[in-house]
Amino acid sequence: MGLEELEQKEYFSIGDVKRITGVPEYSVRYWESEFNLIRPIRLESGHRRYTKEDVYTILKIKDLIYKHKLTLEGAKKQLSHYQFPTQNGEKRPRTDVKLLGEIKEMLADLLKE
C-alpha cells in the first residue's frame, strides 16, 4: 500500500493511514486531537475512517514536523495558511474548520436556553 492506493480508495482505516504515511497510529490520533484538521468519520463500532483529505493533511503535518523541524505550534501556524486538496481535486482553504467550530458553539448555546 502506498500513495497509489490513495487515489484508488475513498476511505482509509488508521492502519491504512499508517502504511501510506509512515506515521505511527498513536501520532495520527494525537495529531487528530491537536490540529482539529483531521476529521475522520466514526463508525458505530467506534473505528475511524479517514478521507483522502485527512491523509493529505497528515502527510503535510509529517512534512512540517519531520522535514522542516517545526514544533506543533509552528506547524499549526503554517497549516492555517495552507490550502488542502478536496476530493474533486480543487483547492480550498481550511478556514471552514474555525467557522464550523463557532457554529457548533452557537448551537450549543441555543440548546442550553
pTM: 0.69
Q: Residue 12 is placed in which grid cell?
A: 482509509
Q: Band of the pLDDT at 18, cuts 50, 70, 90? A: very high
How does pLDDT run across 38-75, given as a tens digit for each residue?
989 999 999 999 998 899 999 999 999 999 999 999 99
According to the 3-state scheme, what is the secondary structure of 36-85? CCCCCEECCCCCEEEEHHHHHHHHHHHHHHHHCCCCHHHHHHHHCCCEEE
Beta bridge partners of 30: none
What values do phi and psi take at 71, rounded to 5?
Answer: -75, 175
Question: pLDDT value at position 95?
Answer: 47
Architecture in CATH for domain 3-112: Orthogonal Bundle (1.10)
Cβ-in-10-Å burial (0-12, 13-18, 19+) of 48 comes to buried
Is residue 79 pLDDT above 50, yes or no? yes
Question: pLDDT value at position 29?
Answer: 95
Structural domain boundaries in the chain = 3-112
